[in-house]
Amino acid sequence: MNGFLSPVQVLDALAALADPIRGRIVLALERHELAVGELAAALQLPQSTVSRHLKTLVDAGWVDARAEGASRRYRLLTGARTSPTGRLWGAVREGMASLPGATHDAERLRAVLAERRSASRNFFSTSAEAWDRLRVELFGARADVLGLLALLDDALVVGDLGCGTGAAAEALAPFVHRVIAVDRSQEMLALARLRLDGRANVELREGDLEALPLEDGELDAALVALVLHHLADPAAVLAEAARVLRPGGRLLVVDMLPHDREVYRLEMGHAWLGFDRETLERWVCAAGFERLRFVPVPPDPAGKGPPLFAASARRAVAAAAPTVLPTAAPAVAGASH
């Protein structure tokens, strides 16, 4: 019943409402989308009777049905008050509301809806403890955090610096304007290319973090995840990250807190055994960043490595000339490595 109704259509539509049961059904559906069983309970009628009348209302264009799992939910199609059915309903609604039984229907409907709410409440009261496991089973271990990426500004151009196999670029891509992923390892980039195949807004660039293949101010945000501990001179790389960020752009470093797993130096080529806040603060300030936030990342029970931190800072808008720090010397530096 879209557009303008012809006189015949008006009469057909009104004829469909001419039965008091159908009038009560329409009233019940005015505010809520309901299943047949819920309507039957509210109107105290057999489901078969309600189904038969619903069919007439659907055929006449008053009501629409949509599938939800194995059942169907019905809703009124009067739409906006200015639509043809909306205007027609406005003209007859008052009369329908005075039908015998309409007030009791509304009261029973409240109880039906309360039952629907308590079914959900009951589920959570009996499965509260199991919910964390169930969420992982149903949606995966990262389900609680991946959706939070929608909080990001969708206009951002983000650099994933030291992207490895592109896991972060893959997670970010649906939520931001563009991801530029940089790594110097051709083997890592080959795997990233496989993973990111078909992501039109991700660009892979081969290059070194100490001389990034990016223009001055090209990025709104730069991610340096699990890379800093590999670098001979992290301070120089942070200064290079400041160059490719626009003024006010955001740096995010994710890495390990200080730890004592010396074996990582041999096994994985780590140059630094984690970083503390003071060391990182000195480097990011010298690189021209401000407003450092340094947050230990709550550990994932499944993780066997040292705890992580997430440190974010903004490139100063009126950029001071970066301070020249003495070249970092991981082998002899203090407690943070």
Query: Which amino acid is it at 330?
Result: P
What's the Cα-to-Cα distance from 159 to each of 212, 217, 218, 225, rounded to whole Å?
10, 11, 9, 11
Q: Closer CB to ligand SAM, residue 125 or residue 186?
A: 186
CA nearest to 296, candidates 283, 282, 280, 319: 280
# of chain residues touching ligand SAM (CB under 6 A): 17
Which residue spans within the chain are E strands per DSSP? 34-35, 63-68, 71-76, 157-161, 178-183, 202-206, 219-225, 245-256, 289-296, 308-315
Contact range with ligand SAM by CB under 6 A, out of 2-10, 65-73, 157-165, 196-204 = 157-165
Q: Closer CB to ligand SAM, residue 107 or residue 262?
A: 262
Which residue's Cβ lies closest to ligand SAM?
Answer: 164
Query: Which amino acid is it at 37?
Result: G
**Is there binding between residue 167 and ligand SAM (CB under 6 A)?**
yes
Indicate which single residue of 162, 234, 258, 288 sits in contact with ligand SAM (rule: CB under 6 A): 162
Identify the H or E element spanning 179.
Answer: strand 178-183
Q: Closer CB to ligand SAM, residue 111 or residue 141?
A: 141
CB 28 within 8 A of CB 20: no
Nearest distance in Å: CB 129, ligand SAM: 32
**Cβ atoms within 10 Å of 286's Cβ, excluding its own:** 17
Rounded to whole angstroms, the Cα distance separating 294 from 309 reads 7
Contact range with ligand SAM by CB under 6 A, out of 13-21, 158-166, 278-286, 313-321 = 158-166
Indicate which single residue of 184, 282, 291, 293 sits in contact with ligand SAM (rule: CB under 6 A): 184
Rounded to whole angstroms, the Cα distance separating 311 from 253 reads 5
Site for ligand SAM in 310-329 (CB under 6 A): none
Residue 203 is encoded by which pair of tokens?
């660009």
CA nearest to 33, candidates 1, 57, 70, 63: 63
CB 89 within 8 A of CB 5: no
**Is there binding between residue 227 and ligand SAM (CB under 6 A)?**
yes
Q: Tell me, residue by residue from 187 to 226, as one string, x for binding to ligand SAM by CB under 6 A and - for no binding.
A: -x-------------------xxx--------------xx
Rounded to whole angstroms, the Cα distance separating 141 from 302 reads 10
CA dihedral 91, 94, 97, 98 (to 10 degrees): -130
SS3 284: helix
Contact range with ligand SAM by CB under 6 A, out of 73-81, 142-150, 179-187, 259-267 = 179-187
Nearest distance in Å: CB 87, ligand SAM: 59
Nearest distance in Å: CB 315, ligand SAM: 20
Nearest distance in Å: CB 239, ligand SAM: 14
Indicate which single residue of 56, 83, 185, 201 sits in contact with ligand SAM (rule: CB under 6 A): 185
Q: Which residues bind ligand SAM (CB under 6 A)?
A: 162-164, 167-168, 183-185, 188, 208-210, 225-227, 230-231
